[in-house]
Structures are given as C-alpha cells and as structure tokens.
Amino acid sequence: MKELTTAPVGSPSTFLNFPLALDLDALAADIAILGIPYGLPYHVNERANDQSLAPDALRQASVDVDYTVNHFDWDLCGPLLAGKDVRIVDCGNVTTVLGDDEEHYRRAEAAARRILDGGATLISIGGDHGIPIPVMRALERNEKITLVHIDAHLDWRHEINGVTEGYSSPIRRASEMDWFGDIIQIGIRGIGSAREAEVADARAYGADIITAYELEDIGMQAVLDRIPDGGPYYLTIDADGIDPTIMPAVMAPTPGGLSWRETHKLIHGLVNKGRVLGMDLVEIAPSYDVRNLTMIYAERLICNFIGATVRAGYYD
C-alpha cells in the first residue's frame, strides 16, 4: 500500500537528498525519515497550522548529501556514516483525506509500523506535538520502552475541547500504552496547558521531571545518569524545549531552554546508553524563523542522531 505517503515537493525534495522510498512494504532501510504534517486541531483556526509546513521546509533547508555524508563532521568526529554501509531513506510525508482528521493518524501509525517492523530506526518530523501519538502506538511491543522527552511543556493533558490526541496530550497517551515504562521529561519550564492535576498525574505515574533550572544546576551528564540504562528508548523533541535564541521558529518561545551543547551531549549520551528505536522533532513553525537558525539547528540535531546511532553500532 504505497499510498500511505507521498513525495515531498521543493528542492531538495528529500532530507539531504537521501533516496525517496514510498513503497513501505518493500522498504530496505536502516534509518527512515518520515514527515507527519498534521496534528489533531483543538480549534478551527488550528485546522492547518504553521507546523505542518515543517517537514518540507526542513528538507528544503538541508544541504546536499555528498557534503554531509563525505565530509568530516566534528560533532561526530568523522563522516556521518563513519565509512559504514548504512541505508538511509526518506519515506516522504504521510497522506490524509480532506474532512477526516483522524485518518492522517491512522496512516501515520500504519506507515510507522511498516518502517519499524522492518527494523529501521524511525526519524519523524512534525507537525505539532500530537503526531508522536500514532508513532508511539506503532512502537507496540512486549518490552518496556523508556520515553525521553525534551520540551518546555509537560504535555499530560487528557483532553482539550474533547480532543484527546492533540499536541497537549502525547506524554499522557504514552503513559497509557503498556509498552512505555519510565518517562523522563527534560527542560520543562514556564507555563503550558498543564494544571496542577496533570502535574499530580505525571508525578503519580513516576515521571522524572527535570526542569531547565535543575538541569542548569546538575548538568546534562547527571541528567543522562538518571535515565535508566539499557533501553530501548524513544526520544521525542519539541522544538520549544530548545532555547528560543537557537530555535526561534516555535509557537511558544520560552526562555531558558536547552543549549546546543547540552542537546549534543544528550543525544550522544542517550544513543550510547541503549537502543533508541526512533525520535521525532516536532513543533517547528517555519514562518517564524530568524536567519534560518531553527532549520540549521534542526538539521544538525538529526545528523547528530543519525551519526550517533551509526557509531553506536546499531546497523553493524
């Protein structure tokens, strides 16, 4: 069923010009990139949002694959793929139908299942923070996954305006899936949609909430040490978890977020603690960028994740 995803437009039309792979049933990949543009809206004026432009904007902002693959990357201390034969594909964007918002989620889950079932590491690009919900559902398995969540916000709302799978709910939804165990939430700060009840729920569940201020006091290495060893892990990154001076293209810029050096340490540290099954990068609103910085940081973030998994021997 090829129709789950569609080819992106623009130039480059795929992330770093990696090969396009729309036939998910025939997928042969170590790493798969998947655009999931649409969350579930809370209000009519969110039916289409700026974040839905991010998958293609990020692809178009990406530099060419020869450069990135063959040149020396000092974030990785070597070329992206470290001379290994690693198969990376871009699976395009999940499709949808007009008038049935949930169908996009169903297709996203189906696409993610195909990719994950084939053994590939999945890199999902949102879209808002609702889109990890179908991805996390596709991660269904008989072992417990540790969820690592970078965000300014807690995202434990049960529902808003009757919608239970919108961008304020992904961590609560994960907490309800049997295959998620420990939850670590990093960079939390400022105000979001959470009220005291949600905070109580998160704490009752056992979520390890590390505010930006605690992070400042203890350092990222200590944060890494608090994440249970072994894995497997899933990493969900809300762009507003990163500091708005370096990722300004978000809807809710909040002071005090992760620096790039902190982010770099987290990604490499986590990938080396155990298998990270996939990651997503969500809530980039391209129209609000300043000097293209958000896009540059986003590409670096994804390349660091790819390069770290390669070096950790995921595909050997």
Decide whether 27 or 152 has the Cβ nearer to a second copy. Answer: 152
The least CB distance from residue 176 to a second copy, in Å, is 20
Q: Which residue in the set 87, 211, 251, 312 belongs to the binding site for a second copy (CB under 8 A)?
A: 211
Site for a second copy in 222-261 (CB under 8 A): 244-246, 248, 253-256, 259-261
Query: Is 43 exposed, middle or buried, given 0-12, 13-18 or 19+ CB atoms closer than 10 A?
Result: exposed
Among 1, 26, 28, 48, binds a second copy (CB under 8 A): 48
Tell me whether strands 88-94 and 5-6 are parallel, antiparallel or unpaired: antiparallel
Instruction: Write down the least CB distance from residue 278 to a second copy, Å.
Output: 22
Instruction: Report the site for a second copy in 151-210 (rule: CB under 8 A).
Output: 152, 154, 161, 163, 188-196, 198-199
CA 217 to chain centre: 26
Tell whether residue 212 is a contact of a second copy (CB under 8 A).
Answer: yes
- Cβ proximity to a second copy: between 142 and 161 the closer is 161
Which of 31/277 has CB closer to a second copy? 31
Residue environment code for 15-29, b if the CB has 16+ CB neighbours within 10 A, otherwise e: bbbbebbbebeebeb
Stretch that binds a second copy, among 18-26, 127-135, 138-146, 297-305 (CB under 8 A): 297-305
CA distance 153 to 99: 30
Q: Are 127 and 37 in contact (CB under 8 A)?
A: yes
Candidate ranges 4-12, 17-25, 113-121, 174-182; the one touching a second copy (CB under 8 A): 4-12
At 272, the amino acid letter reads N
Measured CA distances, 304 to 75, 93, 290 (Å): 7, 22, 22
35 is an interface residue for a second copy by CB under 8 A: no
What mask, x for binding a second copy by CB under 8 A, covers residues 68 to 107?
x-xxxxxx-xxx----------------xxxx-x--x---
Nearest to 309, CA basis, from 282, 285, 276: 276
